[in-house]
Structure 1
Amino acid sequence: MSTSTQGTRQQVTPELRKWIVEQAQAGHSAESVLKAMIASGWTEDVAVDAMESTLRGHLNEQAVAQGLPAAVPVPEPDVAESPLYLDVGDRKVSVLQSMHDPRVIVFGGLLSDQECDELIELAKPRMARSLTVATKTGGEEVNADRTSNGMFFQRGENELCRRIEERIGRLVNWPVENGEGLQILQYMPGTEYKPHYDYFDPKEPGTPTILKRGGQRVGTIIMYLAEPEKGGGTVFPDVHLEVAPKRGNAVFFSYERAHPTTKSLHGGAPVLAGEKWIATKWLRERKFE
């Protein structure tokens, strides 16, 4: 394997990108490609960025050619250097677990006990049977797969919502205006939300209407407000992962294309004893209106 570059100028040229793709197709490892680039005069940071962006673009082109939706930018917490904590301005949040495929990150202490209690108390007078988006029409409907009670706050509806939304925006590096309002959900014994995807299926007739409000959903963060005595975990069946619903903690996951290949299938396991309360925040491609 060999390469020639304009290393002194450190410009990522089309020729370099073509060479990177050729090396990947020939079966060379990412480490060996990176070493060859550095040996040819590329600085490590430029080489890594060039390789990552090139291969990401190449994989996306292949996916689209096979009929998959194009990948889009997604929220991404700053965990590249494996930090134990993230400073989000008004709070230090623990990084408890990080998975790349699917992209799932578990955070500790995103919310205080007081914030959990306040959200529940503010939500209680407005609780009703939870609805789901009706992708055939763009409206809402009762769904037998979801047996919780719930309500929505408007984005920025009160000081508490604004504070939490701004904290989430800093945590996942995503504009606050791209988020839907906080949804509060209550699960009693026997209730659940069977495994589902949060993105909107492009094949459904109502999806174009839904997307007008802010584009596709690209990320979700589920915050646990009250712990059940048993059950109620957030499950990811494709990777056999279950996140325990510990009060104040949260699970974040993103999905760069509206397709099962993201492995973002997830659900709320049945509550076996006690009550589970959660706050869900969905993040869109663009400003949600």
Structure 2
Amino acid sequence: MGQTQQITPQLRQWIVDQAQAGNSAESVLQAMLASGWQEDVAIEAMETTLRGHLEQRAAEQGLPPAVPVPEPHLDDAPLYVDAGDRKVCVLQSMYNPRVVVFGDLLSDQECEQLIEFARPRMARSLTVQTKTGGEEVNQDRTSQGMFFARGENELIARIEARIARLVNWPVENGEGVQVLRYVPGAEYKPHYDYFDPNEPGTPTILRRGGQRVGTLIMYLAEPEKGGGTSFPDVHLEVAPKRGNGVFFSYDRAHPSTKSLHGGAPVLSGEKWIATKWLRERRFE
């Protein structure tokens, strides 16, 4: 068929039928190649067809449309990712929900410096007040915290550039780094990081940079017991290992992303973390 191969409606329907029958993407691709389809044409047909099919199903269920999200380059299942000034380990990768656990994301010195700079500015953590777009004390979140302005100092600018390289998302689309301290008994009950489209304060919040589409939690100090990051929908808990981080993204503001997560109670010792939220657009 050479250069004249066309992605026809019949081919798209066949791909959808194969997916609905439970056939893997790899087996469908191999069947197309065996039938004489060029690899680039076959891959494009699969990607566009399945993406369109999923969006159609989502729309039928009343879900908001999906948007682009940050995504590390993990197609070749690398053990390490080049984050510019540092090689970062890939410890775990999950696709539904999209969760990646990174090792050696921060050095011990960087963890200590973040805590040192943040400690004098700590106060009771607040959450976004979705009714108004403001902030409020929330009984579900019993930590202390503070925010660094984006690029506030050399340390913050270096870490933000590393994160941007790691997850392929512009520095300017990130909120400021937030540092949080959890003492024994402190926790953050399961929640979503995106802003609920049905809340009256959400339009005000979105004017500053659109929806949140990704979160990176970096562990700065380990508790003796407890304090893991949990994803209840998939029964996953990430241990708060110093220097490591857990990244997750959510392409629509809906529970179907399975991005429900929480900070389990600290049972002994203190947990310090740094959180970076990523927005659709430049965050102002």
For normalisation by structure 1, the TM-score amounts to 0.93
Match of 1:87 in 2: 82
Q: Closer, same or farther in 2 for the Cα pair 1:13/1:118, shift >3 Å? A: farther
In 1, Cα distance between equivalents of 2:49 and 2:2: 17
In 2, Cα distance between equivalents of 1:146 and 1:36: 51
How far did 1:61 drift? 1.6
RMSD: 1.7
Are 1:229 and 2:224 matched, yes or no? Answer: yes
Within the candidate set 270, 276, 280, 1:281 is matched to: 276
Give identity over the alignment, percent.
80
4+ long deviations beyond 2 Å: 6-33, 39-46
Amino acid in structure 2 at the alignment position of 1:183: Q
Match of 1:56 in 2: 51
Match of 1:205 in 2: 200
Structure 2 gaps, min length 5: none
Are 1:261 and 2:262 matched, yes or no? Answer: no
How far did 1:167 drift? 0.3
Are 1:165 and 2:128 matched, yes or no? Answer: no
Aligned residues: 284
Amino acid in structure 1 at the alignment position of 2:146: M
Q: Closer, same or farther in 2 for the Cα pair 1:14/1:208, shift >3 Å? A: farther
Contact 1:89 1:167 (8 Å CA) reproduced: yes
Contact 1:86 1:95 (8 Å CA) reproduced: yes
SS of corresponding position for 2:162: helix
In 1, Cα distance between equivalents of 2:24 and 2:237: 32
Match of 2:101 in 1: 106
In 1, Cα distance between equivalents of 2:69 and 2:14: 27
1:155-212 CA distance string (max 9 Å, x none): 1111111100010000001111111010000000110000000000111111111111
Within the candidate set 140, 143, 163, 1:145 is matched to: 140
1:24-56 CA distance string (max 9 Å, x none): 456655344323321343232432232023202
Within the candidate set 104, 116, 121, 1:121 is matched to: 116
Structure 1 gaps, min length 5: 1-5
In 2, Cα distance between equivalents of 1:88 and 1:183: 20
- Name which of structure 1's ranges 65-74 and 142-151 shifts more when overlaid on structure 2: 65-74
In 2, Cα distance between equivalents of 1:234 and 1:134: 23
In 1, Cα distance between equivalents of 2:99 and 2:23: 28
Within the candidate set 171, 174, 185, 1:176 is matched to: 171
